[in-house]
Structure 1
Amino acid sequence: MSGFASWIGGALGWTLGGPIGAAIGFAIGAAVDKATSKGLLLDEPKDSKRRRRPRPEPTYERRRRPRTTTTEKQSQTQSGDFEVSLLVLSAIVMKADGEVSQSEKNYVRDYFVKMYGKERANNAFKLFNGLLQKEDISTRQVCQQIQMHMDHSSRLQLLHYLFGVTKADGIVSEEEVELIEKIAGYLYINDRDYQSIKAMFYNPIDSAYRILEIDKSATINEIKKAYRKMAKKYHPDKLQHLGEEHVKGAEEKFQRVQKAYEQLQEERGF
């Protein structure tokens, strides 16, 4: 469990307090209880002469800064804060239809392995299993905390990931989609951005137009203008502050914008 404890210390920043902090506290307790029940936590023998080294201050303590404005707080979002927020929202969405499928859990695990490596993913999944056991996580309060501290580009990436979770088991329930739409509202993501990301996963007939946030009646010049705007909005460099792993994760959104534009080029002949 030492690896888990050190991961927690490094992962929590502004997520330590508020509703996310409360959910994480419950999840840590659940993970520790599970490890104890399996005999994974052993007390050190009383006659041990090994000297304990002083425990370093947690990483999140060193990252604390004076109170700032909302805009300044959002620019301080770190990879660990995004990671924990992603785990909490994933647990909320996966439980929306009353059943958590193994394929959905595998999606979360595979995503974390791809993003962070196996060791970090294993630690994250211990926390995630604890979150799945907590029944009273307030979606609104969690999202309000995220919205207050997280920049818009990172919130869009969270929404993109949540749609991926709902598609993981091949069965998308109305409860899940409705909850993600509520989450988008709580995160201050407007309807055009929401519909754009949703169209990347559900492919309606007019998906290319929805992804570019335009109507079918758009002129060629309006399509070109929309493409430049969306390419800028979804450019992976927008997530540089979260770390290289998230830049790679954002490439999927960017590629879908490019494909949508290429599809309209072919259809409209320009």
Structure 2
Amino acid sequence: MGNFTKWLGAGLGFTFGGPIGAAIGFAIGSFVDGFSEDEFKQEQIDYKKERRNNRNHSNTKSGDFEMSLLVLSSIVIKSDGRIDQRELDFVRTHFVNMYGKERANSAFKLFNGIIKKQISARQVCIQIREHMSHASRLQLLHFLFGIAKADEFVTENEVEEIRKISGYLYINQNDFESIKAMFYNSSDAAYKILEITKSATDEEVKKAYRRMAKKYHPDKVQDLGEEHVKGAKEKFQNIQSAYEKIKKERGL
């Protein structure tokens, strides 16, 4: 058990406490015999003492994003009243692609415990937004829409749950609709991705592209590690594709 908590502690910062830490403690207790949430809390106390002695730690680490993702994913997957295997497979595949098989397997052990616990999305999001950058929160939202789309049938409950999470994370409606449009085909999807309407002038289209390219540039999440830069590149490519589509339509 010691090695497992050391693995956690090595990659966690702000999530090693609060409602996210409580969910992690519950998850560990669900698959480790004789381990209680109180013991995990003691691990948290010991780890926080180490952090206070290390002035150079960053506020948000790669593991913070990882744990935030696991907790929010469990909330979205359960929002339609069932747990779909395709959604679970999406989470596992995404984690393998980002972190490698060994780390992903450890994370998924946690996930199987976290998904059994009732978690307050609002409390978790308050903890996240106090410590995580806006660019990282946008990345979380992007992944959650991917989960909702994984079973090829998006329910209104799933969309509304992600909308609530978006609000709790202080992500505005325009950003929410922009990321949502990256996953759902519609006649005006390219315009929604750039946060403009079809009535926008050619100059407004160009300005919107420059603004969105800056907002979603992969460098914004570079502090979280290369594994998260790869995910950010997907969003960035969606912005570029939307702009190219509009240019082609307008003959720009």
Q: TM-score normalised to the size of structure 1?
A: 0.85
Instruction: Encode CA deviations 1:143-201: one digit per residue, 9 max, x unaligned.
Output: 11101111000000000000001111111111110000000000000000000000000
1:10 CA drift (Å): 1.8
Matched, 1:237 2:219: yes
Q: Between Structure 1 and Structure 2, how many residues are aligned?
A: 243
8 Å Cα contact 1:239-1:250 kept in structure 2: yes
What is the distance in 2 between the residues matched to 1:157 and 1:176? 17
What is the distance in 1 between the residues matched to 2:9 and 2:167? 31
1:63 CA drift (Å): 3.5
* 2:12 alignment partner in structure 1: 12
What is the distance in 1 between the residues matched to 2:129 and 2:174? 18
* 2:112 alignment partner in structure 1: 129
8 Å Cα contact 1:96-1:176 kept in structure 2: yes
| Structure 2 residues not aligned, in runs of 5+ | 36-42
Name the CA shift for 1:16/1:160 in 2 (closer, same or farther; >3 Å): same
SS in 2 for 1:149: coil
**Pairing partner for 2:189 from 207, 224, 228:** 207
**Pairing partner for 1:94 from 54, 77, 83:** 77
* 1:177 alignment partner in structure 2: 159
* 1:188 alignment partner in structure 2: 170
8 Å Cα contact 2:141-2:179 kept in structure 1: yes
1:61 CA drift (Å): 4.9
Matched, 1:246 2:246: no
* 1:25 alignment partner in structure 2: 25
8 Å Cα contact 2:182-2:238 kept in structure 1: yes
What is the distance in 2 between the residues matched to 1:64 and 1:82? 21
8 Å Cα contact 1:11-1:84 kept in structure 2: no
SS in 1 for 2:183: helix
8 Å Cα contact 2:95-2:104 kept in structure 1: yes
| Structure 1 residues not aligned, in runs of 5+ | 36-54, 68-72
Moved more, 167-176 or 191-200: 167-176
SS in 2 for 1:24: helix
What is the distance in 2 between the residues matched to 1:125 and 1:204? 34
What is the distance in 2 between the residues matched to 1:220 and 1:141? 42
SS in 1 for 2:83: coil
SS in 1 for 2:179: helix
8 Å Cα contact 2:194-2:209 kept in structure 1: yes
Name the CA shift for 1:206/1:60 in 2 (closer, same or farther; >3 Å): farther
8 Å Cα contact 1:7-1:123 kept in structure 2: no
1:62 CA drift (Å): 3.7
Opposite residue 64 of structure 2, the aligned amino acid is D
8 Å Cα contact 2:14-2:59 kept in structure 1: no
8 Å Cα contact 2:26-2:113 kept in structure 1: yes
* 2:237 alignment partner in structure 1: 255
Opposite residue 212 of structure 2, the aligned amino acid is M
Percent identity, aligned pairs only, is 65
The 5 A counterparts of 1:100-111 are: 100-111=83-94
* 1:149 alignment partner in structure 2: 131
SS in 1 for 2:237: helix
Opposite residue 13 of structure 2, the aligned amino acid is G
8 Å Cα contact 2:12-2:61 kept in structure 1: no
Q: TM-score normalised to the size of structure 2?
A: 0.90
What is the distance in 2 between the residues matched to 1:116 and 1:64? 27
What is the distance in 1 between the residues matched to 2:194 and 2:46? 43
8 Å Cα contact 2:138-2:171 kept in structure 1: yes
Larger Rg: 1 or 2?
1
Matched, 1:115 2:104: no
Instruction: Encode CA deviations 1:226-251: one digit per residue, 9 max, x unaligned.
Output: 00000010010111100011001111
Instruction: Encode CA deviations 1:31-82: one digit per residue, 9 max, x unaligned.
Output: 21399xxxxxxxxxxxxxxxxxxx9x97665444899xxxxx9x72111101
